[in-house]
């Protein structure tokens, strides 16, 4: 039994470029200015989302209306702890995305074979 290993395939040009960049600039961290910009942008985007949601809230909702309670809580959270608000909104967005993705999976497909099996 011979121990013949297949020759490795040559890398694509993009893979070569990525390898070269990794060799020239190993494990560089993100510039502080880029990190600060990213954090500022996330903070402003979250504040805009909350402001827009509060403005679109129901006008004549009662004091125990769940929609109004959530909006009031988000407004207070924006004033008390903008960083926590940003993390909370990111978490809520992720949960919303997962819920929407799950509901898309549960919808029946347009596959005619699947429709015939159900008959």
pLDDT at 115 exceeding the cut of 60: no
Mean pLDDT of 43-68: 86
* pLDDT of 80: 92
**Tens of pLDDT along 59-108?**
888 878 888 898 888 889 988 998 899 888 889 889 989 999 888 888 76
CA atoms within 13 A on the CB side of 101: 6
Average pLDDT value over all residues in the chain: 81
Cα separation values, 48 from 25, 29, 33, 71, 95, Å: 37, 29, 22, 13, 20
**Which of the four pLDDT bands, split at 50, 70 and 90, describes residue 109?**
low
Mean pLDDT of 3-20: 78
């Amino acid at each position: 039994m011979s121990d013949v290993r297949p020759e490795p395939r040559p890398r694509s040009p993009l893979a070569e470029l990525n390898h070269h960049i990794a060799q020239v600039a190993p494990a560089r961290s993100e510039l502080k200015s880029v990190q600060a910009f990213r954090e500022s942008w996330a903070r402003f985007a979250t504040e805009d989302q909350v402001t827009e949601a509060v403005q679109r809230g129901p006008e004549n909702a009662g004091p125990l209306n769940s929609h109004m309670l959530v909006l009031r809580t988000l407004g207070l959270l924006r004033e008390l702890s903008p960083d926590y608000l940003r993390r909370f909104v990111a978490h809520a967005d992720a949960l919303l995305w997962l819920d929407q993705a799950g509901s898309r999976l549960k919808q029946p497909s347009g596959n005619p074979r699947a429709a015939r099996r159900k008959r």
